Structure 1
């Protein structure tokens, strides 16, 4: 796939960058989940669970999302921790985080 970056305007370049970042994040998340699943299987095969081996309690519960990216409804944020890039870009454009509320 070849993309002529010189022919794109600033808006198109930013849109492309956002799509690439989402694709990278999605890929990394899938790989991380695959690795975690493989480690959990290996631990079970030896008669343990991951928490017993690491001493870390793994919680499956998630905090409910409070904000959603209007450009990509799959991207949400609970309001805790570091702000996602799409939230920061929204704030940098002079808009309010309340605009993103679910």
Structure 2
């Protein structure tokens, strides 16, 4: 079916749009009703409720995890200091993240990382 839309007036186009939306709504409702019937038949054959067929595998895993031991949450302890500046004991580094400037300066002057190990 092909309709030449160029020949239709604005009123005719609006009427056509309304008719198409109505037809689309009816078709969607019919397909939904058909899908529900298929789902109910499948559930009946399996001996389960139709709602159980709609649950995804991740939802089923979540329900089993609720019964499992819960992960402990709380405050993390700070990381242990692994490197300390011998000239200033306030300058420390845990070895995580970017190297601090005091350590970068010392290493660039020829010091070794092992010299600052705690």
Interval of TM-score (by shorter of Structure 1 and Structure 2): 0.3 to 0.5
Query: RCO (CA 8 Å, sep 6+): is it higher in 1 or 2?
Result: 1
The two structures have a TM-score, normalised by structure 2, of: 0.41
More strand by share: 1
Higher Cα Rg, which structure: 2
The two structures have a TM-score, normalised by structure 1, of: 0.47
